[in-house]
Amino acid sequence: MRLTYFVHKMIRHIKRGLALFAFLFLSSSVQAQTFVHRIDSLRKVTMQKGLSDTLLIQAYVSLSREMVKVKDAQSLQILNKLKELGQKLNSQYVLGHYNLQSASFYYLNQNLNTALRFAEKAIVIFKKDNNKTDLIDAYNIEGLIYQSYQTWARSLMSYQKALTLCKKLNDTARYYTVTSNIALIYQYNKDYLKALAYYNKSEKYYSKIKNSNTLAVLTSNMATCYKELKKFELAEKYYLRAISIIQK
């Protein structure tokens, strides 16, 4: 009886949720405009004459990081420019980022074999250059790629390496990005208690910094875990919270 009651309530909430997600999709045009403006601003910086090598590197690295989200030919053009700049300046930092952003680009385009090759190159370069901060990102993208392969143990290995570095550098933001990814692995493998342990860590952090987009996804995933554990009241609580976050 409790299950039937919960299901009926969830159906009502899902109908509300669909309307809210539609609203979120429409309102995302504002975020898209901000994203386009950011790319245009970075492009203008890269075209400035007399720019110092340091500023040019920062501009191209930032631009490549944004452009990989676009997932088109223009992204590859920017990545090639980044590679040329790295080779011209003999900069391991730039070449490391060329490989890291290329890994992200091919991962987002679901070309996992190519993405993995770039991720492995980025790891080698950042290790050699003792660039621990960017090495965290390289391990994280490697973990995501193995996660897409459903090679769970190898994915967890990459994430654990990233977490170790996060702790050494006291990098809180990256730490909770990685814990959220680890939670997903346990959720996929139906180890809901372990998944919730990691989700709870991440949820507290993202609540504190008020990152609503990530928080909505986390609380929705937590609701799913509680539902699978037949803890229906908690599932409903977190599902409603996800909706309320989107609604704000």
Q: What is the DSSP string of 27-58?
A: HHHHHHHHHHHHHHHHHHHHT-TT--HHHHHH
Q: What pLDDT does residue 76 have?
A: 86
Residue 3, pLDDT score: 45
Cβ atoms 46, 66 nearer than 8 A? no
Q: What is the pLDDT of residue 45?
A: 64
Per-residue pLDDT at 96: 96
Q: Which amino acid is at 99?
A: N
Q: Which positions of the chain have pLDDT values less than 50?
A: 1-8, 10-32, 35
- pLDDT of 27: 39
Cβ–Cβ < 8 Å for 63, 85: no
3-state SS assignment for residue 234: helix
pLDDT, averaged across the chain? 83
What pLDDT, on the 0 to 100 scale, is given for residue 36? 58
pTM: 0.82
What pLDDT was estimated at residue 234?
Answer: 93
Any idea how long the chain is? 248
Distance between CA atoms of residues 37 and 185, nearest Å: 35
Q: Give the DSSP H or E segment for 168.
A: helix 152-169
Quick one: pLDDT at residue 18? 39
pLDDT digits (tens, 9 = 90+) for 93-117: 999 999 999 999 999 889 999 999 9
Note the pLDDT of residue 8. Answer: 47
Which one, of 4, 5, 6, lies nearest residue 234 by Cα?
6
Q: Within 47-91, where are the H helices?
A: 53-67, 73-89
Residue 2 has what pLDDT?
46
pLDDT number for residue 38: 66
